[in-house]
Chain A
Amino acid sequence: MSKYVVEQVKLLDRFSNKSVTGTLHLTATHLIFVESNSTSAQEIWILHHHIASVEKLSLKTNGCPLLIQCRNFRLVHFVIPRERDCHDIYSSLLRLLRPVSYDELYAFSYNPKQNDQQREEGWQLIDLAAEFERMGVPCDQWQLTDVNREYKVCKTYPRDLYVPIMASKPIIVGSSKFRSKGRFPVLTYFYQEKKAAVCRCSQPLSGFSARCLEDEHMLQAISKANHNSRYIYVMDTRPKLNALANRAAGKGYENEDNYSNIRFQFVGIENIHVMRGSLQKLLEVVGTRSLSMTDYLVGLENSGWLRHIKAIMDAAIFLAKAVTVEGASVLVHCSDGWDRTAQVCALGSLLMDPYYRTIKGFMVLIEKDWISFGHKFADRCDQLDPDPKEVSPIFTQFLECVWQLTEQFPQAFEFSEWFLIQIHEHVHSCQFGNFLGNSQRQREDLQLKERTYSLWAHLLSEKQNYLNPVYSPSFAESHPVLEPSTQAYHFKFWRNMYHQYDRSMHPRQSILKHVLTLKDSNRELEGTVQALKTKLQKFSVSTSPLKPQTPPRERSLPPRPQSLILGAPLLSRKEVQQEEDEEVFGEEAMEDAPAITGGERTVEGSSATENGYGELMGSFGSKNEPGAVTLEFGVARMTC
């Protein structure tokens, strides 16, 4: 497809009456808007895969409005002067939005200028066998089984699975036949300190009375593998009502009478459909213009979103407590064992193991509990051939739970929320191969490792940007297990995620960015001090005149991305500029903080109109007759 260009397009601000004019470019992969004749000249690049929906609104006097909603919660509103152009863009986008085969996804054409070897290395960064080894598996009670080597027992599980020593092949196969989609109980996390295991599976096909001896043996084997506890917990993460309803379809939950020594527990996390509806309601509320505080809070409550987040967190805390305090093993399942189960297992592990709170560890965690165990990213994130009933923000909820934890434990995580947001961005971008498809088997069929690049390598190359400046590795020693408060008021609306692209919503100065910059500066200054010391030493040794030479600058850091949550784009651009221009060695370092001072500094939000406290209609000189003054925030009426 050739490039399509439309000029004089208006981009309307979502929350105020402001608009900018620019040029719209449609390429094979992106929709690009370039603001014309402005000093800031903002550019907006929207990947086609990010677009969730395109809507053509009815023609207005100034043109044809086009509303684009993205999966990363960006919402853009263009007004295109000619209806013809609008229609062309609209229909092209509709075609581009519906890739029919995986080959059409961006990941297969994206080339970050790396050679095959680099690409391969990227894919080797995360090694799950090494991860199980780190946990202490295999060990005397847990072993690797090759039963699923050919994906014969369970198509949606990975090839390598860890099971209790006592679970023989017949037991595994028997158990898998008694579980939805063959997803029999396997190990996902091993808490070495207490030899307690976190296992996951799908619901049993128990119906009203069916039982399966192999499955019962399987659970017993899990129980026996842990000498510290006489019982295991079976956590059904669904609400009891849902589990009961499943019985009518021949599925259901474990009957405590048939299984020895289990403690059965419902948790009450809602299903994918409820979650989808909840997010939709939330986005509707926070997308409202001139939203009142009452409507916001009522809407937040009615959406149920934070209630669901809290439910997931509560379940993870229950899991972590059972394992770390009671030393009991826990088997977690929901219906198919790839949504709620993934949320609870991953979040629970993150609470128990500080490793998962590091950048690398977090990647491993996602790779293990989400990617390898078959969370259906393609379906849930609407990558291909969309079935709207399969789409659901399950992974987004997991990321949000982690964010809620970072708010309570600011020093526990190596990464900042910017890292979480980037991951979310790429789960939907289809730019990297990691999240394509629904299972490992499918990924192998697609030859993703040969044909696409790994997101993890990309993120690690930019690690500097994702660091949490106040992260303290020693925090893990004092808090190996996180014990978050579950008081409702600790759960907050994640503004930086859901309003990532809404400039007017953000704090106008970012502490995160400020402190990150300082930390970079500290590193650089440490280098400078070292270089100066060496130089001074040379002076004392030799008396030969030394030409003042510039010592090698510290490894230059990747530029800070222009993200709103990291502060105003304008400011950051200027600062980056300044950092480059400034000869570190030539002059006295600034006495105080390294941030740029000077008269023409801009602070995000230094424009009143951007905020819309009320746009005062008409200027005073021109309008003489007293009329009604309309204000966006509260209406003033001239009476009498």
Chain B
Amino acid sequence: MEFAELIKTPRVDGVDLHRPFMPTVEGTLCLTGHHLILSSRQDNTEELWLLHANIDSIEKRFVGSLGTIIVKCKDLRVIQLDIPGMEECLNIASSIEALSTLDSVSLMYPFFYRPLFEVIEDGWQLFVPEEAFKDLESMTDEWRLSEVNKDFSVCPSYPSLLTVPKDIDDESLCKAASFRHGGRFPVLSYYHKKNGMVMMRAAQPLTGTNGRRCKEDEKLINATLCAGKRGYIIDTRTIAVAQQAKARGGGFEQEANYPQWRRIHKAIERSNVLQDSLIKLVEACNDQSHSMDRWLSKLEASNWQSKVKEILTTACLAAQCIDREGASVLVHGTEGTDSTLQVTSLAQIILDPACRTIRGFEVLIEREWLQAGHPFQQRCAQSAYSNGKPRSEAPVFLLFLDCVWQILRQFPCSFQFNENLLIMFFEHAYASQFGTFLGNCVAERVKLQLSQKTVSLWSWVNRPQELERFLNPLYEPNNLVIWPSVAPQSLLLWEGVFLRWNRSTKCLDEACQEMVHIIEYNKELQNKVNSLRRQLAQLETEESPLQTP
């Protein structure tokens, strides 16, 4: 392995580790191929194990012969290492830089990680399209599972199996694919059991400036409408942006060609501006100047909360069309891999109680993000501390998680999971020992042989001992559609992520524990009452023969 060449100094003694709200730890710093480790070599102090992949950027400073490296992580944590000796410090810094920016996916940690736990349930089998289709078949016979993309040639970013209207043959699908950006023709995203309405997703149609049309595409989406019914097309872009897209060969559905559809434009910005927004937000959160005006104006300038509101509003609108208007919906933006997925997955959380369970939520991420071709590797290559010019990095997934958190805050009893699960997904999307978020689409994952060579995140999360951390003690399943408020006063900054390292949560954690205690005590009492009652009933029946003749 060539890691050794990159590690110029594998070990330095007498390094001080500074972290906010934690005591300074003095110990030995070690660099391995994938980790930065700091250990005080005492039994009772925790060790720091940091994945190189988690390091977003570093800064070096020197005061005399004492070097300082500020390590800024993708999970937004900032730590400081004081290293004696200028040469050691420089060596460490350049090693970290090299190791944290490895280009080749196959050198990433998931390919080297061997789980210390026994895999009981293989997470790579969490979502099986055939089985999901069986469920669908039990509700409706309007759909079929197509293998048209089995070698990923029709649409490189789609999975091999896709759910499409029954009456549309593979040949038509190919034609429709050629009319959609990246070959992403309309496919089924969600079936609303309550009224049989559906949500589909796609990429923008390639109408271009001369208004190209495609009969097969029209036929495909019309096939999802009941007789006499009409549907909504939710274009996540503003009309102006959609118009501009025409010049680059893209565009939107013209009324004349899609008379049964009504188009609604929303203003979710493209993913490339999101990165800037995240950088500004995190900078605002890390500003310790204490001035209220400065904080509020920086928070506003980051635009992050506006994006949360816009995305949630669009998802609610899609859900409203389906549940309240009884209409089917097609969602797309430009590529159909970012804002489109935010909207379709959030709409499902609102509509479908199953998505609010842990397993259901995992399946949702697997189905609507991983298999649907959200380019995780590109989007999550860098986080808020990246200095370089962003290429295709964007916190699209983090924004989605933020929106889920907002709904969770408003319906604290309707989710089986708690905030920790969302934070954990955020961490693993950016740096992980598991292979789940590697690659940009199913085709890449197959090529990388992830399911054979790496462990799935789901294999780990779904172990009972891990799940415990993610359970919401307040959960009471309900089968209702949950409509969140999207008023700015109802949307909060997600402190659990953005202020995570800037505040002490001791008091909040203890309060939370007390709440759990009250809930558990209640269960205990219920059980006690029941068992006492049973005892009493037993005694009574033992007595009763004396009375009955």
Contact = CB atoms under 8 A, between A and B. Distances in A.
A13 interface: no
B522 A532 contact: no
Given A526-B525, A591-B526, A488 B295 contact: yes
A499 to B, nearest CB: 6
Contacts of A529: 525, 528-529, 532
Interface stretch (A32-40, A49-57, A176-184, A610-618): A610-618
Nearest to B513: A470
Contact of A505 (B265, B487, B492, B544): B487
A638 B262 contact: yes
Contact of A297 (B488, B511, B544): B488
B309 A293 contact: yes
Interface string A109-139: 0000000000000000000000000000000
Contacts of A636: 263-266
Contacts of A605: 410-411, 482-485
Interface string A256-281: 00000000000000000000000000
B320 A614 contact: yes
Interface in A541-558: 543, 545-546, 548
Given A545-B546, A608-B316, A626-B255, A535 B295 contact: no
B300 interface: yes
Interface in B469-525: 474, 476, 478-493, 495, 499, 502-504, 507-508, 510-511, 514-515, 518-519, 521-523, 525
B167 interface: no
Contact of B489 (A296, A593, A599): A296
B547 interface: yes
B483 A487 contact: no
Interface residues of B, number: 100
Given A528-B529, A613-B317, A301 B293 contact: yes
B493 A489 contact: yes
A102 B294 CA distance: 45
Contact of B412 (A307, A507, A629, A631): A507
A492 B499 CA distance: 14
Interface stretch (A359-367, A385-393, A408-416): A408-416
A490 B503 contact: yes
A58 interface: no
A141 interface: no
A589 B539 contact: no
A535 B514 CA distance: 32
B526 A509 contact: no
A489 B499 contact: yes
Interface in A151-172: none
Given A488-B292, A629-B264, A636-B264, A620 B484 contact: no
A467 to B, nearest CB: 12
Contacts of B476: 593, 595, 597
B530 interface: yes
Nearest to B324: A608
Interface stretch (A197-205, A336-344, A515-523): A515-523
Nearest to A615: B320
B519 A495 contact: no
Nearest to A492: B492
Contacts of A532: 529, 532-533, 536
B484 A608 contact: no
A558 to B, nearest CB: 20
A522 B521 contact: yes
A561 interface: no
Nearest to B284: A489
Contact of B518 (A469, A509, A599, A601): A469
Contacts of A597: 476
B466 interface: no
A505 B488 CA distance: 9
Contacts of A2: none
B313 interface: yes
Contacts of A511: 412-413, 474, 515
A614 B259 CA distance: 22
Given A507-B411, A636-B264, A603 B480 contact: yes
Contacts of B485: 504-506, 508, 605, 611
Contacts of B293: 301, 304, 307
A519 B295 contact: no
Contacts of B303: 294
A543 B539 CA distance: 10
Given A469-B515, A488-B292, A536 B529 contact: no
Contact of B411 (A293, A591, A595, A603): A603
Contact of A634 (B259, B265, B295, B495): B265
Contacts of A640: 254-256
Contacts of A522: 518, 521-522, 525
Contacts of B528: 525, 529
Interface range on chain A: under 10, 10 to 19, 20 to 34, or 35 or more? 35 or more
B290 A292 contact: no
Contacts of B299: 297, 489
B141 interface: no
B522 A634 contact: no
Interface in A297-317: 297-298, 300-301, 304, 306-307, 310
Contacts of A611: 316, 483-486
Given A297-B488, A536-B539, A605-B482, A411 B514 contact: yes
Given A509-B413, A605-B485, A589 B515 contact: no
A518 B489 contact: no
A536 B305 contact: no
Interface string B377-409: 000000000000000000000000000000001
A588 interface: yes
Interface string A460-497: 00000000011010000000000001111111110100
B453 interface: no
A279 B439 CA distance: 52
A539 B539 CA distance: 8
B489 A493 contact: yes
Contacts of A61: none
B522 A594 contact: yes
A291 interface: yes
A633 interface: yes
Contacts of B138: none
Interface string A619-640: 1110000100101011011111
A379 B272 CA distance: 55
Interface in B306-329: 306, 308-310, 313-314, 316-317, 319-321, 323-325, 327
B306 A633 contact: no
Contacts of A594: 522, 526
B238 to A, nearest CB: 9
Interface in A396-412: 408-412
A613 B325 contact: no
A543 B542 CA distance: 10
B540 interface: yes
A90 interface: no
B482 A525 contact: no
6 contacts: A293-B491, A472-B510, A504-B487, A536-B532, A588-B530, A608-B316
Interface of B: 228-230, 239, 254-256, 259, 262-267, 285, 288-297, 299-300, 303, 305-306, 308-310, 313-314, 316-317, 319-321, 323-325, 327, 409-414, 474, 476, 478-493, 495, 499, 502-504, 507-508, 510-511, 514-515, 518-519, 521-523, 525-530, 532-533, 535-536, 539-540, 543-544, 546-547
Interface of A: 15, 286, 291-298, 300-301, 304, 306-307, 310, 408-412, 469-470, 472, 485-493, 495, 499, 504-511, 514-515, 518-519, 521-522, 525-526, 528-529, 532-533, 535-536, 539, 543, 545-546, 548, 588-595, 597, 599, 601-603, 605-611, 613-614, 616, 619-621, 626, 629, 631, 633-634, 636-640
List of 10 A-B pairs having minimum Cβ-Cβ separation, nearest first: A488-B295, A296-B488, A410-B511, A297-B300, A301-B296, A525-B525, A636-B264, A613-B316, A293-B306, A532-B532
